Structure 1
């Protein structure tokens, strides 16, 4: 794929998947604003990327995706830095309840043991994971739509393309096995807040994607299995690598290309990335004619079906 002079914002881009997407875009001709809460790491990464790709290709902007004013400032910075246009927005910033990725921490949201119900009101759960992973995506999407709608379509008919980082919330197992292929997205008891937030990302993309396609805008997400990032403990990453179950960054960026290439009309979809394989996860069919008719009251079902078509996208669709 080639994205000459396209302009992109990537949040959470100072490390992990966000950095991988950033390098992929830069290596294919795009200009990128690296958005991240970690100013020290972000500045360091951008300095290194400038040496490789050029000072005029990449810039850093500090952003807190849970703060609306900060998100607005990020978009304004990108717009003025790279020529009053934004073609791609990647809402990638995310966190997890780290202690609970491979252990049973008693302070975890769903397993906390309270010494007394009398003082329960003093111990609210922290919903920071939801604030970053879901609210941050919603803020970023809201700003992206505003900017996309304010600019003309490009030569291929697009105002802009939005991609969020979801998850398959897969703890163990391999999507290449027949058992995994026959399941929907996976329960993730280790971190229910992470699972809830990523399900929210998927629901948002499936709802907004069909709504905006006629405006020349697409909205999608991808759901990676375990990639070597800071969200998973190093020993866990090492184990998966030894067992050849770690998903390489190239699998993720191959999925990204399906969404943002100039010919792609894909919207409202999620691509699962696991190992060397990318697949679309199918959207559930209507339970019966009555269920379809009821949903049709809110938005024409035929229009949704047409918008969500992935014909010609060259990936398998897995239920």
Structure 2
């Protein structure tokens, strides 16, 4: 129970990587606030987790790109559990589009959710962690597209690269309060969304050196390490979890 007596917020967690992170945190003893934009998805995810983890997870549906809502998550968590120890800003959206015709509304939507949501969640949580005087851990979900160019993902890749710079900068702001901040960069991962593409697994198995895309557990294991007490002296760093793909960077057709 390595997260016993810890309280965590995870955004974008109704399914996929975020859900797996919540499930593992709860399994290891944490109290978890699970956020997703879709109320039905969030509530179903919490029900699944609580079936085996004694009501350790609560749903907080809403738009993680809305600053007032983000601040509300933090206030709700403190009201419910008295503190916050871990924040994982996992929520993000992907809007493909050709650079020459990419619409402003898509650009600003990506920046609002992927960047503003993550920035202001970290801000609100760090203020609370500072008051608590007991440290904490903040983790952003970046992407391999923040390291290697993908066609039609200029805005998305830009937003993910920016999260890694945010983590580095927050080292200056937060280290004195015992708060470490890092990012993970998942590569191709088998989730409910990616498996909607019947060729996804075969394509990424072919071009990934380790011979398969990641399972959500591969990403969750790395995330839990970086927000655990075992990683307290790791801060401002990014961990790529991609089976070696960024080393070769073969583009999917």
TM-score range relative to shorter protein: 0.7 to 0.9
User: Deviations along 1:21-60, whole A, 9 cap, x unmatched?
Assistant: 10111111111000111101101111221111112x1100
Runs of 4+ in 1 over 4 A off after TM superposition: none
Q: Say whether 1:129 aligns with 2:110.
A: yes
User: Deviations along 1:231-259, whole A, 9 cap, x unmatched?
Assistant: 54522433246543211223212322331
- SS of structure 1 residue aligned to 2:35: strand
CA deviation after TM superposition for structure 1 residue 163, in Å: 0.3
Distance in 2 between residues matched to 1:89 and 1:18, nearest whole Å: 12
- Greater shift, 138-147 or 208-217, is seen at 208-217
Count of aligned residue pairs for this structure pair: 239
User: Deviations along 1:253-310, whole A, 9 cap, x unmatched?
Assistant: 2322331221321111100001389x9xxxxxxxxxxxxxxxxxxxxxxxxxxxxxxx
- SS of structure 1 residue aligned to 2:230: coil
Distance in 1 between residues matched to 2:86 and 2:237, nearest whole Å: 16
1:44 alignment counterpart: 44
What TM-score do you get using the length of structure 2 for normalisation? Answer: 0.87
**Superposition RMSD on alpha carbons, in Å?**
2.2
Q: Say whether 1:163 aligns with 2:157.
A: no
Distance in 2 between residues matched to 1:79 and 1:163, nearest whole Å: 19
- SS of structure 1 residue aligned to 2:99: coil
User: Deviations along 1:119-157, whole A, 9 cap, x unmatched?
Assistant: xxxx6442212211111111111111111111131xxxx
Match of 2:175 among 191, 206, 213: 213
* Aligned residue runs from structure 1 range 219-230, under 5 A: 219-229=181-191
User: Deviations along 1:100-132, whole A, 9 cap, x unmatched?
Assistant: 4xxxxxxx251329xxxxxxxxx6442212211
Q: 1:258 to 1:44 in 2, by over 3 A?
A: closer
Distance in 1 between residues matched to 2:243 and 2:12, nearest whole Å: 22
**Which of the pair has more CA radius of gyration?**
1
CA deviation after TM superposition for structure 1 residue 219, in Å: 0.9
CA deviation after TM superposition for structure 1 residue 62, in Å: 1.5
2:87 alignment counterpart: 89
* Aligned residue runs from structure 1 range 136-151, under 5 A: 136-151=117-132
Q: Say whether 1:110 aligns with 2:86.
A: no
The answer on whether the counterparts of 2:7 and 2:31 sit within 8 Å (CA) in structure 1 is: yes
Distance in 2 between residues matched to 1:14 and 1:33, nearest whole Å: 11
Gaps of at least 5 residues in structure 2 are 248-253
Gaps of at least 5 residues in structure 1 are 101-107, 114-122, 154-158, 171-184, 280-319
Query: More helix per residue: 1 or 2?
Result: 2
More relative contact order in 1 or in 2 (CA 8 Å, sep 6+)?
Answer: 2
